[in-house]
Structure 1
């Protein structure tokens, strides 16, 4: 619900100076807006049916409005909490439900890799198995990040999951891969300059 406020004010969470946001909400937008429209139509229909039963009418109206807000909230969370890449690392997120921080030095490879993972439950956005964390949007992932050491992903209610391979979706998958590679190259270049500038003891 907090994401709705960020969405209305056109703000993004966790995107600081020198960092680049990698959006991923586009793939799910048609489904979410369609679902919200269906909920609104259903609310109007139920309103007519229960017009002569005021108590039931108001109870259903509150529930329907809450449902519409929740649906819009899921989309708002995806829009306002993008993946973020910066000088220190890559932050991969699944709306407000999943957050994983990946230091750049742990990334051994990153590639464009379009996949359509099978989910164990309908509507499940993320799944973990055998050290692989998949954050699908629109039932697809397109970026695969391999790590030298596992990282810990934090879920909405605080559960922690260790992963050595992270797969996620980005609206511009190839551009996301290029941005991550560029950040890694800049870090390695900076580390090399520091090494060359160090003064060796006599």
Structure 2
């Protein structure tokens, strides 16, 4: 990927989390239409994010006091520290305002402002609750993992591959997607119910539980 393309994607990511702060303050969600169901996942990381934000806030105050007699370094570090606090809050804001979205034809899986994977309901062969430790990315078994708080709680098996695009722009074709939902049981039931109305690709039988 070109340097210009990478810079554009990073700038777009920055714009999304900054916009997420505004939507979060307004208590609104992005991309959830009428008749669609939002599947939340932000609670899985909230304790960690708020704890780290608190630590960053304390550090900001401490550094500000230490550099009070040095105007230029004080101003520079204040900007850096405030930006870091905003970035941490933006990380949580985008997770809250950009939930997974279950529509009539597709399941849109999100990882905050970092990535999205659109899964046709007709391609889902099985969906199951499965708590696994994972990092964001592609595992050794070829499954893409959209982890929250270092873990995933659900696994989708697909009849045909879908394209997963990383923040860097790299595209991957995957047939297994692991992700997190705060209410994994409810999310699994809702996805199965929606997918039953869309026969799985190459398999007219109902979607399996796993």
Fold shared by both chains (TM-score > 0.5): yes
* Pairing partner for 2:86 from 41, 66, 69: 69
1:158 shift after superposition: 2.7
Match of 1:143 in 2: 154
Q: Distance in 2 between matches of 1:52 and 1:10?
A: 40
Report SS of the residue matched to 1:93: strand
- Which structure 1 residue ranges, 4+ long, deviate > 6 Å from structure 2? none
8 Å Cα contact 1:3/1:77 also seen in 2? yes
Conserved? CA contact 1:25–1:75, under 8 Å? yes
Q: Kindly indicate whether the alpha-carbon contact (under 8 Å) linking 1:131 and 1:162 is maintained by their aligned counterparts in 2.
A: no
Deviation at 1:157, TM superposition (A): 3.8
Task: State which of 89, 93, 98 in structure 1 corresponds to 2:115.
Answer: 98
Distance, in Å, in 2 between the alignment partners of 1:128 and 1:9 is 37
Indicate if the aligned counterparts of 1:20 and 1:85 stay in contact, CA closer than 8 A. Answer: yes
Deviation at 1:154, TM superposition (A): 2.1
- Look up the SS of the partner of 2:176 in the other structure: strand
Larger Rg: 1
Give secondary structure in 2 for the equivalent of 1:187.
coil
Alpha carbons of 1:106 and 1:10: their partners in 2 closer, same or farther (altered >3 Å)?
Answer: same
Take 1:186 and 1:79, find their aligned partners in 2: how far apart are those partners?
28
TM-score, length of structure 2 as denominator length: 0.83
Structure 2: state its 5+ residue gaps: 1-17, 205-210
Deviation at 1:128, TM superposition (A): 4.3
Measured against aligned partners, the alpha-carbon deviations of 1:60-111 in whole angstroms (never above 9, x if no partner) come to 1000000000000111111111111111111111111110000011101111
Deviation at 1:41, TM superposition (A): 0.4
Instruction: Give the drift of 1:152.
Output: 0.4
Alignment correspondent of 2:170: 159
> How many pairs are equivalent?
183
Taking structure 1 as the reference length, the TM-score comes to 0.86
Distance in 1 of aligned mates of 2:116 and 2:132: 21
Alignment of 1:29-40 (within 5 A): 29-40=46-57
1:84 to 72, 92, 101: 101
> What SS class does the counterpart of residue 55 from structure 2 fall into?
helix
Counterpart residue number, 1:112? 129
1:57 to 59, 74, 88: 74
C-alpha deviation, 1:156, in angstroms: 2.7
